Each structure stands twice: as structure tokens, then as C-alpha cells.
Amino acid sequence: MKAVHVIQGRAVPLERSDVDTDQIIPSDWLKRVERTGFGRGLFSEWRDSPEFVLNQEQFQGATVLLAGPRFGTGSSREHAVWALMDYGFEAIIAPSFGDIFRNNSSKQGLVIVELPSSDVEELNILVKGNPALQLTIDVERLTVEVAETGWQRTFTLDPMTRERLLNGWDDIGLTMLRENEINTFEKKSHSPTLNGIFDASGHSAR
């Protein structure tokens, strides 16, 4: 994945809680075998409405999404992350996130910023007042800043996620460096495999 140091851009206030991954990208989009092109399906149940915040002219081109609590709960579909990134989002700021969604984001370089509800609300008000405001999210310093108003907060990321973002490391490559340890583990493991259970066509051998 691409290394991420600083994200600078405008933000769009979604102002909804419990936005599950079915709402981020409906299941109809999950039939595709590609990894790209999901941006068109982002929030597709809401996109038809001209009032929907993503359709408002002043928020076009925003790269930071401000969301309510429990963003990304539900299904494990990584398509939700692909859709958000394909649309152009680089970071999501919300009071809390679904666990699997958070994991999936970290693998793709979508920056997850958890801030208290009151802080997200302050950002919503700032951005609605002036949609042109620039937010700066610094992954190195773990800060969110609105330079124009002097608003600044810090956030936390687990150290490894931060390292991976800053270096753009590929998780699989890192694990493959531990080949010897995996081999050692497998030699002592008694956990049963599928060997002997099914024949070549998948029918039960016994």
C-alpha cells in the first residue's frame, strides 16, 4: 500500500450514527471481481437524493468524512473501504468504528481517526459554517488540525498501524519474513487438516 504521512483536504459532515457497511456499499455491488470502481456505489441508497450531503456542491472534492458513532459496523466486506477510497476519501473521523472495518481500513491506508463525539460535533459545525476549511491529519504526530481557526486535537492509533501507514508496508510481506517461525509452529501443531476427508471431487471419502 501507499505510504501516508499527512492528509490535507476539505471535510464533509455525514451526521449519521450506525452507518453500517451495507449502507456504505450495498450487496449488489459485491458481485464484482475487481478491486476498483466501487466509488460509484458508495452510499448508493442515499445518492439519488439531491439533499444528500455528498451531492451538495460545496462539499465536492472533500477527502475527509466526518461520521457519527459506530461507523462501519456489520458485514466484513472490504468493498466498503474500497468504495470510500475510490470515491476520494483518505480519512474518516468518527467517535467509534466497527472492528472489522477498522482492520480493513488499516490494510488499505484509509486513515481512521477516533475522536470524542463532542469533537466531531465541533468539526461538523466548523465545516458546515465554512465548507472550504482545510483539515490537516498528521499520521506522524497523530493530530487533527484546522489551521484557519486554530482548532487542534490529538488522536491515537495502535503503534503498528501507524508504522505501517507511514512506511506503506505490505503486511503479507512482513509475515513472510517469519517463515521459519511458521514452519516451527506447524511442526508441533496437532490441529487436524482436511487430508483424507474428501475425495478429489469434494465428496466425503468415508
Partner 1 sequence: MGNQTLYEKIWSDHVVATPVGEPTLLYIDFHLIHEVTSPQAFDGLRLNNRKVRRPDRTLATADHNVPTDPISTPVNDPISRRQLEALDENCAEFGITLFPRGHENQGIVHVIGPELGVTKPGMTIVCGDSHTSTLGAFGALAFGIGTSEVEHVLATQTLPQQKAKTMSVTLEGKAPKGVTAKDIVLKIVSTLGTGGGAGYVIEYRGEAIRDLSMEGRMTVCNMSIEAGARAGLVAVDETTIDYLRGRAGVPDGEEFEKLATYWRTLTSDNDATFDKEVVINASELVPFITWGTNPAQVVALDGVVPSPDDFSDADSKDATARSLEYMGLEPGTPIKKIPVDVVFIGSCTNSRIEDLREAAAVAKGSKVAANVRALVVPGSHRVKKQAEEEGLDKIFIDAGFEWREPGCSMCLGMNPDQLSPGQRSASTSNRNFEGRQGRGGRTHLVSPVVAAASAIKGRFATPDEVA
- Annotate each residue in 122-161 with x if it binds partner 1 (CB under 8 A) or - if it does not, as one string: ------------------------------------xxx-
- Does 172 sit near partner 1 (CB under 8 A)? yes
Stretch near partner 1 under the rule CB under 8 A, chosen from 128-136, 139-147, 149-157, 178-186: 178-186
- Give CA–CA dist 155/123, Å, rounded: 14
Stretch near partner 1 under the rule CB under 8 A, chosen from 19-27, 55-63, 86-94, 146-154: 19-27
Tell me whether residue 201 is exposed, middle or buried, using C-beta atoms within 10 angstroms of its C-beta: 0 to 12, 13 to 18, 19 or more: exposed
When binding is defined by CB under 8 A, the residue of 2, 118, 132, 203 that contacts partner 1 is 203
Stretch near partner 1 under the rule CB under 8 A, chosen from 5-13, 59-67, 144-152, 179-187: 179-187
- Annotate each residue in 52-71 with x if it binds partner 1 (CB under 8 A) or - if it does not, as one string: ----------------xxx-
When binding is defined by CB under 8 A, the residue of 100, 133, 142, 157 that contacts partner 1 is 100
Non-local CB neighbours of 107 within 8 Å, separated by 6+ positions = 1, 78, 81, 171
Residue among 150 and 195 whose Cβ is closer to partner 1: 195
Beta-carbon count within 10 A of 190 CB: 4
- Give CA–CA dist 42/84, Å, rounded: 7
Return contacts of 41-50, CB within 8 angstroms, 24+ apart.
41/83, 42/83, 42/84, 42/86, 42/87
Is the sign of the CA dihedral 16, 4, 128, 149 positive or negative?
A: positive
When binding is defined by CB under 8 A, the residue of 35, 40, 47, 141 that contacts partner 1 is 35
Q: Using DSSP, state whether 40 is helix, strand or coil.
A: helix
Residue among 132 and 191 whose Cβ is closer to partner 1: 191
When binding is defined by CB under 8 A, the residue of 8, 9, 20, 157 that contacts partner 1 is 20
Phi, psi values for residue 137, rounded to 5°: -110, 120
